[in-house]
Amino acid sequence: MSSSENKSPAPQNPLLVLGKISSILDAFTLARPTLSLGEIRESTGMPTSTVQRLVTNLVSQGFLDRDDDSFRIGMKMAFWAAPATRGVAMLDMFLPLMKELRDLTGETVCFFQEEQGHRVCVALAETRHALRREMHVGAILPLHAGSASQVLLAWNPEALSKLLHTPLQPLTDFTITSSEELETAVRAARRDGFAITTGQRDDGASGLSAPVFNSIGTIVGAVTISGPTLRMPFSVCQGWVEDLLTTAERMTRVIGGRFPTEASG
């Protein structure tokens, strides 16, 4: 027997293996909770043999569960996630993700919630630019103006219904003051999963927002990128949509949330 035949396969770098496992797990999203082997391979760019071997091992350890011919994140992962989030306030879990988005875009990132017919800023990662929109935690804003308002209303039919039966006060020349126009904008936000507005609440200011949901598919708030229109024209806002949606999904996932079904409102 030759010396080459006696050689054992070279051990794999454990950090490299962990990177590949992380890549597989990252392929699963709330929009695509189940994936086939082919879809995992396409998402990760790894060879089919590598994907098959790692997925088989992940299933055997409970990291993935088999779902017919596809796979989903294993319930064992939820068991481990529970101690990580227990006792941590929701906004404390959101803030690091908001700061990441702030650093990526360079603009202020806010989290708004609907409260008694208004929207309230409850968390903030402020831009480092000297020129910025005035915003602070605790700011109470009208619920009919701006991208965050459209998103909050899109998944809160009760709040929308109340607002449609009240006068909509103009804040700028571009504020929506027609119930029909507001309803159309809210419907578009729900269809698209985000909203972009310019100059509706402040002259020369832009914003784009996306929803965050809890474990029963109820909206808990809107994450928003906001700043001066001279730095955030519509084309720039469009370019940040995917980053915004990714952050909103990560915020939803970190609190064990899920996207609502169409029937859930």
Q: Which domains does the chain have, with CATH numbers?
A: 8-83 (1.10.10.10), 90-264 (3.30.450.40)
Contacts with 43 (C-beta within 8 Å, 6 or more apart), sequence order: 23, 27, 35
Give the C-alpha separation, 213 to 250, whole Å.
Answer: 10
Q: Residue 83 has what pLDDT?
A: 66
Give the C-alpha separation, 194 to 187, whole Å.
Answer: 11
Q: Residue 88 has what pLDDT?
A: 63
Residue type, 117: G
Q: How many CB atoms lie within 10 A of CB 90?
A: 19
Residues in the chain: 265
Report CA 94 to chain centroid distance, whole Å. 10
What does 142-190 look like in DSSP terms, one character per residue? ESSSSHHHHHHHHT-HHHHHHHHTS----SSTT----HHHHHHHHHHHH
- If we measure between CA atoms, which residue out of 224, 250, 247 comes closest to residue 126? 224
**Residues in the chain with pLDDT < 70?**
1-15, 81-88, 262-265
- If we measure between CA atoms, which residue out of 141, 138, 179 comes closest to residue 160? 179
Q: Residue 154 has what pLDDT?
A: 97
Q: pTM for the complete prediction?
A: 0.75
* The token pair that represents 238 in the structure block: 């469009």
Check: CB of residue 32 under 8 Å from CB of residue 73.
no
Alpha carbons within 13 angstroms on the beta-carbon side of residue 246 total 12
Check: CB of residue 40 under 8 Å from CB of residue 33.
no
Give the C-alpha separation, 155 to 176, whole Å.
Answer: 19
* The token pair that represents 55 in the structure block: 């997925």
| Residue found under tokens 């879809």 | 39
Q: How many CB atoms lie within 10 A of CB 247?
A: 24
Q: Residue 47 has what pLDDT?
A: 94
